[in-house]
Protein backbone atom coordinates (compact mmCIF):
# COMPACT_ATOMS: atom_id res chain seq x y z
CA UNK A 1 0.00 0.00 0.00
CA UNK A 2 2.53 2.56 -1.06
CA UNK A 3 -0.31 4.72 -2.36
CA UNK A 4 -1.69 5.21 1.10
CA UNK A 5 1.10 7.52 2.09
CA UNK A 6 -0.08 10.25 -0.27
CA UNK A 7 -3.69 10.61 0.85
CA UNK A 8 -2.45 10.37 4.39
CA UNK A 9 -0.09 13.26 3.83
CA UNK A 10 -2.84 15.53 2.51
CA UNK A 11 -5.15 15.86 5.51
CA UNK A 12 -2.29 16.95 7.70
CA UNK A 13 -1.38 19.70 5.25
CA UNK A 14 -5.04 20.70 5.05
CA UNK A 15 -5.44 20.89 8.79
CA UNK A 16 -2.32 23.00 8.98
CA UNK A 17 -3.70 25.51 6.49
CA UNK A 18 -7.09 25.62 8.20
CA UNK A 19 -5.29 26.24 11.47
CA UNK A 20 -3.51 29.26 10.08
CA UNK A 21 -6.76 30.37 8.45
CA UNK A 22 -8.70 30.33 11.71
CA UNK A 23 -5.75 31.01 13.93
CA UNK A 24 -5.51 34.77 13.39
CA UNK A 25 -9.19 35.70 14.03
CA UNK A 26 -9.15 33.48 17.11
CA UNK A 27 -6.06 35.28 18.31
CA UNK A 28 -7.80 38.63 17.90
CA UNK A 29 -10.81 37.46 19.90
CA UNK A 30 -8.69 36.34 22.82
CA UNK A 31 -8.27 39.79 24.40
CA UNK A 32 -11.91 41.04 24.37
CA UNK A 33 -13.27 37.63 25.34
CA UNK A 34 -10.75 37.33 28.12
CA UNK A 35 -11.64 40.77 29.49
CA UNK A 36 -15.37 40.01 29.28
CA UNK A 37 -15.06 36.68 31.04
CA UNK A 38 -12.71 38.19 33.61
CA UNK A 39 -15.13 41.02 34.39
CA UNK A 40 -18.07 38.63 34.62
CA UNK A 41 -16.16 36.47 37.09
CA UNK A 42 -15.06 39.53 39.07
CA UNK A 43 -18.67 40.69 39.48
CA UNK A 44 -19.89 37.18 40.31
CA UNK A 45 -17.17 36.85 42.91
CA UNK A 46 -18.33 40.09 44.46
CA UNK A 47 -15.07 41.99 43.88
CA UNK A 48 -17.14 44.71 42.21
CA UNK A 49 -20.84 45.49 42.25
CA UNK A 50 -20.79 46.11 38.49
CA UNK A 51 -23.31 48.94 38.77
CA UNK A 52 -21.47 51.43 36.53
CA UNK A 53 -19.75 48.81 34.40
CA UNK A 54 -22.32 46.07 33.96
CA UNK A 55 -20.99 42.56 33.37
CA UNK A 56 -21.70 40.82 30.02
CA UNK A 57 -24.57 38.74 31.42
CA UNK A 58 -26.47 41.88 32.50
CA UNK A 59 -25.83 43.55 29.13
CA UNK A 60 -27.08 40.46 27.37
CA UNK A 61 -30.19 40.35 29.56
CA UNK A 62 -30.93 44.02 28.87
CA UNK A 63 -30.34 43.48 25.16
CA UNK A 64 -32.65 40.46 25.14
CA UNK A 65 -35.30 42.32 27.13
CA UNK A 66 -35.21 45.30 24.74
CA UNK A 67 -35.39 42.94 21.78
CA UNK A 68 -38.29 40.97 23.27
CA UNK A 69 -40.44 44.04 23.82
CA UNK A 70 -39.64 45.23 20.31
CA UNK A 71 -38.10 48.43 21.69
CA UNK A 72 -34.70 47.64 20.25
CA UNK A 73 -36.10 46.96 16.79
CA UNK A 74 -38.12 50.19 16.84
CA UNK A 75 -35.12 52.30 17.85
CA UNK A 76 -32.74 50.52 15.49
CA UNK A 77 -35.16 50.93 12.59
CA UNK A 78 -35.51 54.67 13.29
CA UNK A 79 -31.74 55.10 13.38
CA UNK A 80 -31.20 52.95 10.31
CA UNK A 81 -33.80 54.95 8.36
CA UNK A 82 -31.97 58.19 9.22
CA UNK A 83 -28.60 56.79 8.22
CA UNK A 84 -29.93 55.34 4.97
CA UNK A 85 -31.60 58.58 3.86
CA UNK A 86 -28.68 60.76 4.96
CA UNK A 87 -26.19 58.37 3.35
CA UNK A 88 -28.22 58.26 0.14
CA UNK A 89 -28.37 62.04 -0.18
CA UNK A 90 -24.71 62.50 0.80
CA UNK A 91 -23.56 59.84 -1.67
CA UNK A 92 -25.57 61.21 -4.58
CA UNK A 93 -24.46 64.81 -4.08
CA UNK A 94 -20.88 63.80 -3.25
CA UNK A 95 -20.60 61.53 -6.29
CA UNK A 96 -22.00 64.06 -8.73
CA UNK A 97 -19.93 66.99 -7.44
CA UNK A 98 -16.82 64.83 -7.02
CA UNK A 99 -17.09 63.50 -10.57
CA UNK A 100 -17.60 66.97 -12.04
CA UNK A 101 -14.77 68.59 -10.08
CA UNK A 102 -12.47 65.65 -10.82
CA UNK A 103 -13.21 65.91 -14.52
CA UNK A 104 -13.21 69.66 -15.06
CA UNK A 105 -10.37 71.79 -13.80
CA UNK A 106 -12.47 74.93 -14.29
CA UNK A 107 -15.30 73.67 -12.05
CA UNK A 108 -12.74 72.40 -9.54
CA UNK A 109 -11.10 75.80 -9.28
CA UNK A 110 -14.53 77.37 -8.98
CA UNK A 111 -16.18 75.30 -6.24
CA UNK A 112 -13.52 73.17 -4.57
CA UNK A 113 -12.00 75.99 -2.43
CA UNK A 114 -15.44 76.79 -1.00
CA UNK A 115 -16.16 73.15 -0.27
CA UNK A 116 -12.76 72.70 1.35
CA UNK A 117 -13.46 75.74 3.53
CA UNK A 118 -16.81 74.25 4.57
CA UNK A 119 -15.10 70.95 5.27
CA UNK A 120 -12.85 72.67 7.80
CA UNK A 121 -15.91 73.42 9.92
CA UNK A 122 -16.62 70.62 12.42
CA UNK A 123 -19.94 69.35 11.11
CA UNK A 124 -21.54 69.27 14.57
CA UNK A 125 -21.20 73.07 14.56
CA UNK A 126 -23.96 73.16 11.97
CA UNK A 127 -26.47 71.61 14.36
CA UNK A 128 -27.95 74.83 15.84
CA UNK A 129 -28.28 76.31 12.37
CA UNK A 130 -29.90 73.19 10.95
CA UNK A 131 -32.39 73.15 13.81
CA UNK A 132 -33.24 76.79 13.18
CA UNK A 133 -33.62 76.18 9.48
CA UNK A 134 -35.17 72.77 9.37
CA UNK A 135 -36.80 72.24 12.74
CA UNK A 136 -36.09 69.66 15.38
CA UNK A 137 -37.51 66.66 13.53
CA UNK A 138 -36.14 64.35 10.83
CA UNK A 139 -35.04 66.95 8.25
CA UNK A 140 -32.31 68.49 10.38
CA UNK A 141 -30.99 65.07 11.47
CA UNK A 142 -30.89 63.66 7.95
CA UNK A 143 -29.19 66.82 6.71
CA UNK A 144 -26.48 66.57 9.33
CA UNK A 145 -25.80 62.94 8.38
CA UNK A 146 -25.81 63.84 4.68
CA UNK A 147 -23.21 66.57 5.33
CA UNK A 148 -21.05 64.05 7.19
CA UNK A 149 -21.30 61.49 4.37
CA UNK A 150 -20.84 64.06 1.63
CA UNK A 151 -17.24 65.08 2.29
CA UNK A 152 -15.43 61.74 2.21
CA UNK A 153 -17.44 60.67 -0.83
CA UNK A 154 -16.83 63.98 -2.61
CA UNK A 155 -13.09 63.92 -1.87
CA UNK A 156 -12.75 60.23 -2.75
CA UNK A 157 -14.56 60.53 -6.07
CA UNK A 158 -12.71 63.70 -7.04
CA UNK A 159 -9.31 62.16 -6.25
CA UNK A 160 -10.25 58.92 -8.03
CA UNK A 161 -11.38 60.67 -11.20
CA UNK A 162 -8.31 62.90 -11.21
CA UNK A 163 -5.97 59.97 -10.83
CA UNK A 164 -7.38 57.79 -13.63
CA UNK A 165 -4.38 56.74 -15.72
CA UNK A 166 -4.08 58.96 -18.79
CA UNK A 167 -2.65 56.02 -20.70
CA UNK A 168 -5.74 53.91 -20.06
CA UNK A 169 -8.00 56.79 -21.13
CA UNK A 170 -5.94 56.98 -24.30
CA UNK A 171 -6.70 53.33 -25.03
CA UNK A 172 -10.37 54.28 -24.84
CA UNK A 173 -9.77 57.18 -27.21
CA UNK A 174 -7.87 54.95 -29.63
CA UNK A 175 -10.99 52.75 -29.74
CA UNK A 176 -13.05 55.89 -30.43
CA UNK A 177 -14.91 55.96 -27.13
CA UNK A 178 -16.29 59.26 -25.98
CA UNK A 179 -18.90 60.67 -23.65
CA UNK A 180 -21.06 58.08 -21.97
CA UNK A 181 -19.21 55.11 -23.49
CA UNK A 182 -15.90 56.41 -22.15
CA UNK A 183 -17.47 56.78 -18.71
CA UNK A 184 -19.04 53.32 -18.74
CA UNK A 185 -16.17 51.35 -20.24
CA UNK A 186 -13.09 53.15 -18.88
CA UNK A 187 -13.70 55.75 -16.17
CA UNK A 188 -16.27 53.91 -14.07
CA UNK A 189 -14.32 50.64 -13.73
CA UNK A 190 -11.12 52.60 -13.15
CA UNK A 191 -12.53 54.59 -10.20
CA UNK A 192 -14.57 51.76 -8.69
CA UNK A 193 -12.02 50.56 -6.09
CA UNK A 194 -11.45 54.08 -4.76
CA UNK A 195 -15.19 54.74 -4.90
CA UNK A 196 -15.97 51.75 -2.71
CA UNK A 197 -13.42 52.98 -0.19
CA UNK A 198 -15.02 56.43 -0.26
CA UNK A 199 -18.47 54.92 0.29
CA UNK A 200 -17.19 52.95 3.26
CA UNK A 201 -15.63 55.99 4.93
CA UNK A 202 -18.81 57.93 4.16
CA UNK A 203 -20.91 55.26 5.80
CA UNK A 204 -18.66 55.25 8.85
CA UNK A 205 -19.14 58.99 9.24
CA UNK A 206 -22.86 58.56 8.67
CA UNK A 207 -23.04 56.26 11.70
CA UNK A 208 -20.99 58.72 13.70
CA UNK A 209 -23.25 61.64 12.83
CA UNK A 210 -26.50 59.81 13.48
CA UNK A 211 -25.50 59.61 17.14
CA UNK A 212 -24.80 63.34 17.22
CA UNK A 213 -28.11 63.98 15.46
CA UNK A 214 -30.04 61.84 17.93
CA UNK A 215 -28.31 63.44 20.89
CA UNK A 216 -29.81 66.77 19.88
CA UNK A 217 -33.25 65.61 20.76
CA UNK A 218 -34.98 62.52 19.49
CA UNK A 219 -37.87 60.49 20.82
CA UNK A 220 -36.64 57.31 19.23
CA UNK A 221 -33.46 55.85 17.81
CA UNK A 222 -30.44 54.12 19.28
CA UNK A 223 -29.02 57.53 20.19
CA UNK A 224 -32.16 58.15 22.22
CA UNK A 225 -31.51 54.88 24.06
CA UNK A 226 -28.04 56.19 24.91
CA UNK A 227 -29.32 59.50 26.29
CA UNK A 228 -32.18 57.75 28.05
CA UNK A 229 -29.78 55.28 29.64
CA UNK A 230 -27.60 58.12 30.87
CA UNK A 231 -30.45 60.15 32.33
CA UNK A 232 -32.07 57.18 34.04
CA UNK A 233 -28.78 55.69 35.17
CA UNK A 234 -29.03 52.47 33.16
CA UNK A 235 -25.46 51.72 31.95
CA UNK A 236 -26.51 48.31 30.63
CA UNK A 237 -28.96 50.00 28.26
CA UNK A 238 -26.20 52.31 27.04
CA UNK A 239 -23.87 49.41 26.36
CA UNK A 240 -26.67 47.45 24.70
CA UNK A 241 -27.31 50.39 22.36
CA UNK A 242 -23.57 50.64 21.64
CA UNK A 243 -23.50 46.93 20.80
CA UNK A 244 -26.47 47.44 18.48
CA UNK A 245 -24.64 50.32 16.79
CA UNK A 246 -21.57 48.15 16.32
CA UNK A 247 -23.55 45.25 14.90
CA UNK A 248 -25.67 47.26 12.46
CA UNK A 249 -22.72 49.43 11.44
CA UNK A 250 -20.60 46.40 10.68
CA UNK A 251 -23.42 44.70 8.77
CA UNK A 252 -23.98 47.74 6.55
CA UNK A 253 -20.25 47.93 5.87
CA UNK A 254 -20.23 44.24 4.99
CA UNK A 255 -23.08 44.88 2.59
CA UNK A 256 -21.01 47.43 0.66
CA UNK A 257 -17.97 45.15 0.65
CA UNK A 258 -20.01 42.08 -0.28
CA UNK A 259 -21.84 43.77 -3.13
CA UNK A 260 -18.65 45.29 -4.55
CA UNK A 261 -16.30 42.30 -4.20
CA UNK A 262 -17.41 40.51 -7.39
CA UNK A 263 -16.62 43.68 -9.36
CA UNK A 264 -13.17 44.10 -7.86
CA UNK A 265 -11.71 40.62 -8.27
CA UNK A 266 -9.33 41.98 -10.91
CA UNK A 267 -7.46 44.18 -8.47
CA UNK A 268 -3.76 43.53 -8.25
CA UNK A 269 -3.42 43.98 -4.54
CA UNK A 270 -0.65 43.56 -2.07
CA UNK A 271 -2.93 41.29 -0.03
CA UNK A 272 -5.99 39.40 -1.13
CA UNK A 273 -9.36 40.66 0.22
CA UNK A 274 -9.76 37.48 2.24
CA UNK A 275 -6.52 38.09 4.08
CA UNK A 276 -7.40 41.70 4.78
CA UNK A 277 -10.69 41.37 6.54
Partner 1 sequence: MLTLEHVGKTYSNGVHALADINFSVGPGEIVAIVGGSGCGKSTLLRAISGLDTPSTGRVVLDGEAVMQPHEKIGIIFQEPRLLPWLSVAGNVGFGLEDRPKAERDARVAEALTRVGLSDKAGVWPRELSGGQAQRVAIARALVPRPEVLLLDEPFSALDAFTRVDLQDHLLSLWADTKPTLILVTHDVDEAVVLADRIMVMKPRPGRIFDEIQADLPRPRDRQSSAFDRVRRHVMAALDRSLSRSGHNSNAETDPSGAALWW
In whole angstroms, the minimum distance from the beta carbon of 2 to partner 1 comes to 34
Residue pair 202/164 in contact by the 8 Å Cβ criterion: no
- DSSP secondary structure string, 43-105? HHTTS---SSS--HHHHHHHHHHHHHTTHHHHHHHHHHHHHHHHHHHHHHHHHHHHHHHHH-H
74 contacts partner 1 (rule: CB under 8 A) = no
In whole angstroms, the minimum distance from the beta carbon of 179 to partner 1 comes to 13
Kindly tell me which of 47 and 175 has the beta carbon lying closer to partner 1: 175
Residue pair 98/157 in contact by the 8 Å Cβ criterion: yes
Cα separation values, 107 from 101, 115, 158, Å: 5, 12, 11
Residue pair 20/13 in contact by the 8 Å Cβ criterion: no
Kindly tell me which of 74 and 267 has the beta carbon lying closer to partner 1: 267
Kindly tell me which of 80 and 192 has the beta carbon lying closer to partner 1: 192
- CA angle 162/165/170 to nearest 5° reads 115
In whole angstroms, the minimum distance from the beta carbon of 184 to partner 1 comes to 10
Count of chain residues binding partner 1 (CB under 8 A): 18
Segment 123 to 182, residues that bind partner 1, using CB under 8 A:
167-168, 170-171, 173-176
266 contacts partner 1 (rule: CB under 8 A) = yes
Of residues 163, 267, 272, 275, which one binds partner 1 by CB under 8 A?
Answer: 267
Q: How far apart, in whole angstroms, are the C-alpha atoms of residue 89 and residue 146?
A: 6
Residue pair 57/40 in contact by the 8 Å Cβ criterion: yes
Kindly tell me which of 23 and 273 has the beta carbon lying closer to partner 1: 273
Of residues 20, 262, 268, 277, which one binds partner 1 by CB under 8 A?
Answer: 268
Kindly tell me which of 78 and 196 has the beta carbon lying closer to partner 1: 196
Kindly tell me which of 192 and 242 has the beta carbon lying closer to partner 1: 192
Single out the residue of 254, 103, 105 nearest to residue 190, CA to CA. Answer: 103
Choices 50-58, 133-141, 234-242, 262-270; region in contact with partner 1 by CB under 8 A: 262-270
The four Cα atoms 138, 140, 141, 146 give a dihedral, to 10 degrees, of: 120
Q: Largest Cα–Cα distance of the chain, in whole Å? A: 85
Of residues 158, 164, 187, 190, which one binds partner 1 by CB under 8 A?
Answer: 190
273 contacts partner 1 (rule: CB under 8 A) = no
In whole angstroms, the minimum distance from the beta carbon of 274 to partner 1 comes to 16
What are the residues binding partner 1 (CB under 8 A)?
Answer: 167-168, 170-171, 173-176, 185-186, 189-190, 192, 263, 265-268
Amino acid sequence: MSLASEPAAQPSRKSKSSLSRWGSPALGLLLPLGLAVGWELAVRAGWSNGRLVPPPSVIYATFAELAKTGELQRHAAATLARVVSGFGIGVIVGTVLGAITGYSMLVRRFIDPSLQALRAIPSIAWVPLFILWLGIFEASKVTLIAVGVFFPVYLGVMAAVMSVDRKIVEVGRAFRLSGFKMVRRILLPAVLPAYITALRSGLGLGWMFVVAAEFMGASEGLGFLLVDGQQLGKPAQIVAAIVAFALIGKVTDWLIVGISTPFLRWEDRFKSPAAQD
